[in-house]
A and B are shown apart, each in its own frame.
Chain A
């Protein structure tokens, strides 16, 4: 069945004889099968090009993976869209709100929701447009939430990094302080503080809240630092001459950003909720500056005018829900252990 043949280049090989000729016609011309050299070259270029193509495809940072995972998380995206709309309205309250939040219209008090004159959420006891007040209330809540989350995160990050990296007495001291702050009843302290200071401006409330919101992040960051400072790459960084600060902030800190972002996001929701609770109790932000909690409290005085409590209350729920969805999505997206992309 096979026959030794000589290739044009002089080498010999075995080729099948019988099947080459079908119906008297050779399937391949003489020597046509022998394309050894050409084939090799083709294979080589193919390998090179796929290598290059493979490399091109691979250029994808940790963040782009995270982005991909986040955007495949449906609830998180829904939460993000919700937040963009709600916070967008709050940020551009001047443009979005049809009325000023302190405009009084005594002809139109306690008007139920209607599209006439843009009183979508009705009017309150002095005829102010509830929709406008809610929109401005969102702005207040947003400012408080973001301020508390950012300031608390940065402070917590520093405390956690120092405690985790240096360990020992310093760690012990900082963590006991953290424990102490965690055990304090926030609400009671806040009530006392705001009663004592009398200055219940938005910013003083924010600062007091931030003073309580760093503990969670400090603990998380400390844990990450504790485990990472023993890693070989930290030793390698040491061996290449990096000092403590450089190792802490350049080498280890990027590893903590995932949990910090997640915690920070969730802190926004928690801070908004706490601020609402404070304002509801009348110790938070004072009128005429509206805040969502304070609007709910105000609505309590009008048991028959449901719109005055339902709408601001609903927005608190919506905001916190959206924030938590986003936080949840970020948690999954930023988890470096998770290579898998959600389908």
Chain B
């Protein structure tokens, strides 16, 4: 196996609030290999975004605090870089595509200028004509029609899908080796979602950037990703290849997520939700954070935090004491994946 692009070890991020300390990310470790797309899924507040924002130092501090952990990227620990050095990494070697394209572009600057900024921030000596040509090429690459005209337009003259394409173009402007897309399609309607994902996929193939795709849409994960991390309450509860996770989930939470989805084939009168509500991150349940909502929960779950341990399947891991009991259990989507 090649060396990972990014190796995160035991990342812990806290937020100090008036009600107490929130453990937004609690001991997360994962690796990302070149050219790979890693999906991170989980409910709101499960720590998906925070775990990646922390890499780029984009967590507001205070109230945020990176308590421990390392994030090795190309031989450097991103969490310990100085502000200046980190700035050189941002947008250059590690780029980010944000959730809401409506507010992620500055309304008073032309799209061309904003994309140009992304380049000149890192290459201030680049000539204006060169930058402009590069921006136009980028816009063409992400499928914006009439890129020359679009270059001089303002964000309000772009539709939502076009803006997100522009944001993707901004992300890949400097050919990053790691692209983080934080719910890139949540703010878009379904047809546009499909187009933007297509663009993201193509761009990723062309630039060969390793990609982290944060989403709560399992459909997108199945479509786009090679590997998946399932997060719950700041912990990784399951990780594995897309096939393994969808065909044979080995964590009750993942199974719950799958069961809560409608299936296009076959009638479904009722969807099956996960019972209960996500726990308060200030006051996590003892032991396994998922035990109050879990159908497998026993006494042991209330006392011991289950570690991630290998289950069958290459690199497939689950943080459940009783994951063996799930062996043989098929997910709702097992046929769809196979």
Asked if B58 is at the interface (CB within 8 A of a chain A CB), the reply is yes
For B99, the closest partner residue in chain A by CB is A232
B107 touches A336 (CB 8 A): yes
- A132 CA to B173 CA, complexed, in Å: 62
Asked if A55 is at the interface (CB within 8 A of a chain B CB), the reply is yes
For A240, the closest partner residue in chain B by CB is B91
B109 touches A241 (CB 8 A): no
- A56 CA to B149 CA, complexed, in Å: 8
Asked if A74 is at the interface (CB within 8 A of a chain B CB), the reply is no
For window 93-123 of B, CB contacts with A under 8 Å fall at: 95-96, 98, 100, 103-110, 114, 117-118, 121-122
Asked if B223 is at the interface (CB within 8 A of a chain A CB), the reply is no
A59 touches B107 (CB 8 A): no
The residue among B87, B105, B108, B170 with the most chain A CB atoms within 10 A of its own CB is: B108
Which of B88, B91, B104 is close to A233, meaning CB atoms less than 8 Å apart? Answer: B104
- A235 CA to B117 CA, complexed, in Å: 14
- A237 CA to B114 CA, complexed, in Å: 9
- A118 CA to B106 CA, complexed, in Å: 56
A58 touches B107 (CB 8 A): no
A55 touches B90 (CB 8 A): no
Asked if A288 is at the interface (CB within 8 A of a chain B CB), the reply is no
B136-157 vs A, CB cutoff 8 Å, 1 = contact: the mask equals: 0000000000100100111001
Asked if B167 is at the interface (CB within 8 A of a chain A CB), the reply is yes
- A232 CA to B167 CA, complexed, in Å: 12
**Nearest chain B CB to A167 CB, angstrom units:** 12
B117 touches A240 (CB 8 A): yes
> Given known contacts A232-B100, A233-B106, is B153 in contact with A240 (CB within 8 Å)?
no
> Given known contacts A55-B146, A240-B95, A241-B91, is B108 in contact with A62 (CB within 8 Å)?
yes
Asked if A251 is at the interface (CB within 8 A of a chain B CB), the reply is yes
A232 touches B117 (CB 8 A): no
Asked if A236 is at the interface (CB within 8 A of a chain B CB), the reply is yes
- A238 CA to B92 CA, complexed, in Å: 12
**Nearest chain B CB to A50 CB, angstrom units:** 13
For residue A59, which residues in chain B have a CB less than 8 angstroms away from its CB? 149, 152-153
Which of A56, A238, A242 is close to B58, meaning CB atoms less than 8 Å apart? Answer: A238
B80-92 vs A, CB cutoff 8 Å, 1 = contact: the mask equals: 0000000111111
> Given known contacts A232-B104, A238-B90, A241-B89, is B109 in contact with A254 (CB within 8 Å)?
yes
**Nearest chain B CB to A66 CB, angstrom units:** 11
A241 touches B106 (CB 8 A): no
A243-287 vs B, CB cutoff 8 Å, 1 = contact: the mask equals: 100100011001101000000000000000000000000000000
A239 touches B149 (CB 8 A): no
For A251, the closest partner residue in chain B by CB is B106
Asked if B56 is at the interface (CB within 8 A of a chain A CB), the reply is yes
For residue A61, which residues in chain B have a CB less than 8 angstroms away from its CB? 110, 152, 154
**Nearest chain B CB to A200 CB, angstrom units:** 42
Residues of B in contact, count (CB < 8 Å): 34
For residue B104, which residues in chain A have a CB less than 8 angstroms away from its CB? 232-233, 235-236
A240 touches B106 (CB 8 A): no
For A234, the closest partner residue in chain B by CB is B106
B87 touches A241 (CB 8 A): yes
Asked if A231 is at the interface (CB within 8 A of a chain B CB), the reply is yes
A243 touches B87 (CB 8 A): yes
B179-206 vs A, CB cutoff 8 Å, 1 = contact: the mask equals: 0000000000000000000000000000
For A256, the closest partner residue in chain B by CB is B108
> Given known contacts A236-B98, A254-B108, is B90 in contact with A241 (CB within 8 Å)?
yes
B96 touches A239 (CB 8 A): yes
For A236, the closest partner residue in chain B by CB is B104
A214-246 vs B, CB cutoff 8 Å, 1 = contact: the mask equals: 000000000000000001110111111111001
> Given known contacts A232-B104, A233-B106, is B98 in contact with A240 (CB within 8 Å)?
no
- A254 CA to B106 CA, complexed, in Å: 10
For window 12-53 of A, CB contacts with B under 8 Å fall at: 52
- A217 CA to B146 CA, complexed, in Å: 40
> Given known contacts A55-B146, A240-B90, A242-B121, is B108 in contact with A235 (CB within 8 Å)?
no
For residue A237, which residues in chain B have a CB less than 8 angstroms away from its CB? 106, 117
> Given known contacts A59-B149, A242-B117, is B90 in contact with A231 (CB within 8 Å)?
no
**Nearest chain A CB to B163 CB, angstrom units:** 11
For residue B122, which residues in chain A have a CB less than 8 angstroms away from its CB? 241
For residue B149, which residues in chain A have a CB less than 8 angstroms away from its CB? 55-56, 59
**Nearest chain A CB to B293 CB, angstrom units:** 32
- A242 CA to B86 CA, complexed, in Å: 10
For residue A233, which residues in chain B have a CB less than 8 angstroms away from its CB? 103-106, 114
B108 touches A336 (CB 8 A): yes
For window 168-210 of A, CB contacts with B under 8 Å fall at: none
- A326 CA to B171 CA, complexed, in Å: 42
**Nearest chain A CB to B156 CB, angstrom units:** 9
> Given known contacts A236-B98, A236-B170, is B87 in contact with A255 (CB within 8 Å)?
no
25 intermolecular pairs with C-beta atoms under 8 Å apart: A52-B146, A55-B149, A59-B153, A231-B103, A232-B98, A232-B100, A232-B103, A233-B103, A233-B105, A235-B98, A235-B104, A239-B58, A240-B90, A240-B95, A240-B118, A240-B170, A240-B173, A241-B118, A242-B87, A242-B117, A246-B121, A254-B108, A254-B109, A255-B106, A336-B108
**Beyond A61-B110, A246-B121, 9 extra complex contacts between A and B, CB < 8 Å:** A56-B149, A58-B157, A236-B105, A241-B121, A242-B117, A243-B87, A250-B117, A254-B106, A255-B106
Interface residues of A (CB under 8 A from B): 52, 55-56, 58-59, 61-62, 231-233, 235-243, 246, 250-251, 254-255, 257, 336
